[in-house]
Structure 1
């Protein structure tokens, strides 16, 4: 698998992480034996890279990695100080009709402590399908834009589930009946959460970096099926 490089300079590379690829090995994913993103990049470039932030294994999209270990903390400060702008897209259950600012603490799975988390959610498009999903005779979905101002683990997935609009393909926080429908009807089992865009001021050269990641094939398939367009 060749990883798409979206940006590169002397300090960082920014990649389009595929669905279902771990960034690195971890205790929580100890049973997964596939190549990690870091392994794939090592094979592709012959160099080691150091993640500045993280994406869930099942989330695709923009990921920033440092070329030097000593620079990781410099770039991480952009995330810790909330001076970086991140934009995600998600496909969720139900009709989402108005902009919502979600302020709800999220529990860290390691420390078991709750931390404040904030997500801005904007509805873009919706659809009603004549496909029954328990307990209804039809099914409804919305395309949403998500802009987190904090970076808690599973934040977007937890926040959407809390307002009864879980992300399709989420087997931890989502709706198993809708997940199963997407599998059976569309042959899509991936999580429909994509890190689409990132924007920040480069800490070394002060340039504004704005990077967008194209959607995976399963997203393009659903966009065509639902007649949805993203600009």
Structure 2
């Protein structure tokens, strides 16, 4: 029975008790601090580190460091901690997200525009919080990569730690083929154009994140291919060879062909006119991901069709 620290004293009724958690095989490889942070929602990070340092967290009955990487079958002692007591803590909503692929290791959704991939920066909940809420029985769900909030399309979620690790290695080694569809301003002249411009993150006057072309930035490369064009607009396929923040948006703007509806790097006067003409979002869609399945070795190609509002706008432009 749980005690409150005095020999033989009973814990107050309703007080949190010691818990034991067993690490599942698919959760192996995570640092202990990250493992606990994911499971103790609402508990301040400083408190989690404090109980680890104080020896109140035990792994297989032994004191352990925060950097320890958990293994399948490890038994972790969680001391009495009140989780998510604040009145404003609410469950993540169940967002409507079409599933375009799923097996034991992976889950791919067609993310709607306007939905953040995770909570933070003024957003209470995103895709990953919603998926965990809708699947409480799932022991492991982690984002493989990210999409901008206003970008729609294929988003990968790992259901096993081993799958996540392998996919991250593919991303680092450029072994994942990522194709986007982008509607841009102006008549794109070339059938194919490769953009190699280093990108750096900066903060705007109000603290907002902006990405700029800069020699001191990270090497970035995008290949643009012409899909269709009118006198005013062009539809491009963008192949990401690197995965920098806002890469396609900044590279497109650098060519004087900003993405339609982009409220950060686009043509603001044009965007106003586009809204009146029916385009009320950014015209950027993650259309296709191709890679080798991290566990089976099978060649996979996962696609999400152009959303109806973008398809309708483009057909209107070309009719």
Are the structure 2 counterparts of residues 185 and 39 from structure 1 closer, same or farther at C-alpha, using a change threshold of 3 Å? same
Once the two structures are superposed, what CA deviation does each residue of 1:94-113 show, in whole Å capped at 9, x if it has no partner?
Answer: 00021111010011358x96
Q: Does residue 6 in structure 1 map to residue 88 in structure 2?
A: no
- Give the 5 Å matches for 1:123-162: 123-128=226-231, 140-162=232-254
CA contact (8 A) 1:3 1:41 kept: no
Are the structure 2 counterparts of residues 37 and 105 from structure 1 closer, same or farther at C-alpha, using a change threshold of 3 Å? same
| Unmatched segments (≥5 aa) in structure 2 | 1-94, 203-208
Q: d(CA) in 2 for partners of 1:44 and 1:181?
A: 39
- Give the 5 Å matches for 1:107-186: 107-109=200-202, 114-128=217-231, 140-186=232-278
* Displacement of 1:125: 1.2
* Displacement of 1:9: 1.1
SS at match of 2:227: strand
* Displacement of 1:11: 0.8
- Whichever of the two has the greater Rg, that structure is 2
CA contact (8 A) 1:101 1:118 kept: yes
Q: Which residue of 2 aligns with 1:105?
A: 198
TM-score (norm 2): 0.63
Q: d(CA) in 2 for partners of 1:10 and 1:57?
A: 27
* Displacement of 1:32: 3.3
SS at match of 2:175: coil
Runs of 4+ in 1 over 6 A off after TM superposition: none
CA contact (8 A) 1:95 1:141 kept: yes
Q: Does residue 218 in structure 1 map to residue 309 in structure 2?
A: yes
SS at match of 2:230: strand
Q: Quick one: higher RCO (CA 8 Å, sep 6+), 1 or 2?
A: 1
Q: d(CA) in 1 for partners of 2:119 and 2:130?
A: 12
Q: d(CA) in 1 for partners of 2:130 and 2:274?
A: 29
Q: Does residue 41 in structure 1 map to residue 134 in structure 2?
A: no
- Give the 5 Å matches for 1:29-68: 30-33=121-124, 35-46=125-136, 47=138, 49-68=141-160
Q: d(CA) in 1 for partners of 2:201 and 2:195?
A: 17
How many pairs does the alignment contain? 211
Task: Answer with 218-227 or 84-93: which moved more.
Answer: 218-227
CA contact (8 A) 1:124 1:144 kept: yes
Q: Which residue of 2 aligns with 1:131?
A: none
Q: Which residue of 2 aligns with 1:189?
A: 280
TM-score (norm 1): 0.85
* Displacement of 1:199: 0.3
CA contact (8 A) 2:153 2:287 kept: yes
Superposition RMSD on alpha carbons, in Å? 1.8
